[in-house]
Amino acid sequence: MLLRTLWRRFIPHRCTLCRNIFEGTGALCGDCRSDLTDCSDSCRCCLADLASSALDRCGPCLVRPRFFRASAAVRYRGAAQALIREFKFRNRPRLAHTLALLMVESRLRQGGYLPQLLIPTPLHPSRLAERGYNQAALLGQQCARILGVDCDPFALERRGAKTPVAQLSRRERQAAVRGAMTCRRKLNASTRIALIDDVMTSGATCSEAERALRRAGARDVEIWVFAHRALGDGDLGAEERT
């Protein structure tokens, strides 16, 4: 405790994102943290915006839920978009811990049984070679470490051609990823599983990955992402469009 106090006193504490010095704890300063918009008003099965805070599902999911459960820590805008850009495109894999903490905090606030196994969405081999790491795998490993559960970053495999989907419509995204996922292991129907990804837009990638997990024996698969981006939200940088 004494060493920590001395460290805080003499070593500047900088915000992980803006790099400004600030007082307090955590990775983000107050300004950056306040620029994060949570998803508390989103459907718990697909993350669509809800018409009323009294509801927890959108109309379509009341009839036929899109996913067993879906959880996003923040909306893909402002500081959240900046964090993802730094994490994915500017070689800052250590940001995974900061993002994972926010993901776990958000999921714990929702309550309910937590997953026993985390499975990240796979990255296309050519994309993995370019970036050097799978951001979803890093998030899954950090979330698993925080919660004390298992993570299998190699359970899912991505096949087929690499297709940029950032600017595609929902239908085009679904077609682009159809049949692109396969699960390398058998799964137990009684095991609660969370599929991990960094950002969900149309949900096409998560839907295809979930289908692969169900074909392997999974039953209840919830979706965990750091950020939810509605189609058409925010301006995408050149790196995000590739």
Give percent helix, percent strand, percent coil of the chain, each to the nearest 5.
35, 15, 45
Residue 170 lies in a domain: yes
pLDDT of residue 180: 81
Residue 109 lies in a domain: yes
What residues make up the domain containing 144? Answer: 38-241
pLDDT tens track for 92-113: 999 999 999 999 999 999 898 9
Q: Does 234 have pLDDT greater than 70?
A: no
CA distance 118 to 39: 21
Residue 14 lies in a domain: no
Which tokens go with 90?
Answer: 């500017």
Structural domains in the chain (count) = 1
CA distance 186 to 214: 10
What region, left, alpha or beta, does residue 110 occupy, with left being phi > 0 and alpha being psi -120 to 50 degrees? alpha
Q: What is the CATH number of the domain that holds 76?
A: 3.40.50
Residue 214 lies in a domain: yes
Residue 73 lies in a domain: yes
Output the pTM of the full model.
0.87
Residue 124 lies in a domain: yes
Residue 93 lies in a domain: yes
Residue 127 · residue 151 · CB < 8 Å: no
Nearest 5°: the CA angle 76, 134, 171 is 55
Residue 218 lies in a domain: yes
Q: Does 186 have pLDDT greater than 60?
A: yes
CA distance 46 to 4: 42
Report phi then psi at 181, rounded to 5. -115, 145
Which segment of 3-7, 24-28, 190-194 scores lowest on mean pLDDT? 3-7
pLDDT tens track for 28-42: 999 999 999 999 889
